[in-house]
Amino acid sequence: MLMRNAAEIFAADEFIEGDTNFPLFNADLQDAEGIPPAVQKLSDQIAAADAVIISTPEYNKAISGSLKNALDWVSRTEGNPWKDKPLAIMSAAAGRAGGERSQFSLRLAMMPFRTHILQGPEVLVGGSSNEFDENGKLTGETYVKFLTELMDELRAAIRR
């Protein structure tokens, strides 16, 4: 829901929500079958995008296994679709820190890709089950303010 709120605030001509439902990364699988078509599709979407938004929950003090798996798979595609790509990260989590540790672990996981990660403002939605209305709209005034500022920064990064 947080990413969809960000996309609405950003108001891009086109927003594509990437699918990360991939098999677990396994070099033997890659050697036997190649890059799965769904992985190549996501890699191509990243390469073609003007910018990327990653919204992550926090699982056991880090990013989710499915997100890490997607990053691992995409890293195996030709070229580097992430290189110099403006990237906004945000998180929504059940805990009061709002996914602060997942954002830190995501920053570490993204380092090899040489992407342009925006440094702020940080959007960390804590107690997330209480921060969205029945239509999936972010309700906290401060959260909306920071999310709007982050999307403004993303627009500026694209122009640079």
What DSSP letter does each residue of 10-34 carry, written as one string? HT-S---------PPP-HHHHHHH-
Q: Helices 2-10 and 141-159: crossing angle, nearest 10°?
A: 60
What was the pLDDT predicted at 12?
84
Tokens representing 103 are 């954002």
Question: In the numeric block, which tokens belong to residue 26?
Answer: 């396994």
Residue 96 has pLDDT above 90, yes or no: no
Mean per-residue pLDDT over the chain, rounded: 95
pLDDT exceeds 90 at position 151: yes
H helices present in 11-140, as ranges: 27-33, 37-48, 65-74, 100-110
Joined tokens for residue 155? 């627009």
Alpha-carbon span 63 to 104, nearest angstrom:
9
Q: Which residue has the tokens 């990260």?
A: 89
Phi/psi zone of residue 13: left (φ > 0), alpha (ψ -120 to 50 degrees), beta?
alpha
The pTM is what? 0.92
Residue with structure tokens 């239509």? Answer: 135
Residue 36, SS3? coil
Helix (H, G, I), strand (E, B) or coil at 138: strand
The pLDDT of residue 157 is above 90: yes
Summarised one tens digit per residue, pLDDT across range 6-40 is: 999 999 889 999 999 999 999 999 999 999 999 99
